[in-house]
Chains A and B, each alone.
Chain A
């Protein structure tokens, strides 16, 4: 069974631009979560989608948004990019949303904002 895939793997943008990242969960998984990882920081939760609905949201500004499609694939968008948005963006999928559901991570998209 294929794992979580993320595209693109690497991205370079300039301040003020917007970016869209894509995540395809493991087949059959319906929950997709997004995380931001920066050097020296742990994984910072962005949001979780389940059945095309946002279930949970972290403490990020409204510039960060996401959505999920009927096939469970998910995208996240960051508008008006700032230098501090440079990070590894990780997507994780699980069978369902809720307690005791192991999340499986993709390789991440490394975003560099210049």
Chain B
């Protein structure tokens, strides 16, 4: 069964550095998402991406965050200048819009640790 893949599984970065988290969604999916989960807290929506543009973003997704689908297969989340509070598990998801109830398929996540 096709899967969403995320790399790396764990990223350790110094505060203030840029980080790029990578995702390869399922190939025929058209909606793409990033979520994050701070340890012990809820999984939170960050951003959705459709038709090569952001369709919705949360309050968390400020100017330090950006997303890109550079080559038709990868879907990346970039954090320009990381802060300690960016430490979290980041999940990528994709969805095939065959019908409105179509579920999202998630990757294994990237654990981001900011030092």
Q: Do A and B bind each other?
A: no
Residues on B lying within 8 angstroms of A by beta carbon are none
List residues of chain A with CB under 8 Å of any chain B CB. Answer: none
